[in-house]
């Protein structure tokens, strides 16, 4: 089996070496052929190494991905869920999180993953309900929604006839 070993740190001061050593030892024990992908100082939106790896996974250049922990692969559960269902489960690409003891190529690994997914979806739903309730209350109280115009902000956001998007509905703001 050919796997991609993915190591990530959030800052330049951190090192991927500990992750890499542990994952390479595991891959060698399992008899995997592997290629290492290391990403340093990543942000939510800029992970070029991971994006390049995702492209290669879609082309089926690897049979699986090996990471130390789930948080090294994805920054949020929703990101993990989307990629897992779209790529790993649907395309039958193995995903192994060594420390979390999750292997999406096994039935028990998929069960654990789906339990995590269910809790994540429930949490997102609760947050959305609270947010929508708070926005509805604020509108009823006549509060202006949105970011206030700041000293560095040159955009006039309080023009008359301004259309406000709220809860998927367009609401004409009073003049």
Positions annotated as catalytic residues are 10
Residues in the chain: 175
Tell me the Ramachandran region of residue 63: left when phi exceeds 0, alpha when psi lies from -120 to 50, beta otherwise.
alpha
| Cα(86)–Cα(88) distance, integer angstroms | 6
Beta bridge partners, 96, equal 66, 103
Report how far apart, in Å, the C-alpha atoms of 23 and of each of 6, 39, 74, 163 are. Answer: 9, 15, 17, 52
| Cα(79)–Cα(120) distance, integer angstroms | 11
């Amino acid at each position: 089996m050919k796997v991609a070993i993915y190591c990530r740190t959030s800052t330049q001061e951190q090192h991927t070496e500990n992750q890499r050593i542990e994952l390479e030892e595991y891959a060698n024990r399992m008899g995997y052929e592997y290629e290492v992908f290391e990403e340093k100082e990543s942000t939510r939106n800029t992970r070029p190494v991971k994006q390049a790896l995702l492209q290669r996974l879609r082309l089926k250049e690897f049979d699986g991905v090996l990471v130390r922990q789930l948080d090294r692969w994805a920054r949020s559960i929703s990101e993990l869920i989307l990629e897992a269902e779209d790529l790993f489960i649907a395309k039958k690409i193995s995903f192994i999180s060594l420390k979390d003891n999750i292997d999406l190529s096994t039935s028990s690994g998929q069960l654990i993953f789906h339990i995590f997914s269910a809790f994540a979806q429930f949490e997102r739903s609760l947050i959305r309900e609270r947010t929508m309730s708070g926005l509805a209350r604020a509108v009823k109280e006549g509060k202006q929604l949105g970011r206030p115009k700041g000293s560095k902000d040159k955009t006039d956001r309080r023009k008359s006839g301004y259309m406000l998007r709220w809860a998927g509905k367009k609401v004409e703001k009073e003049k």
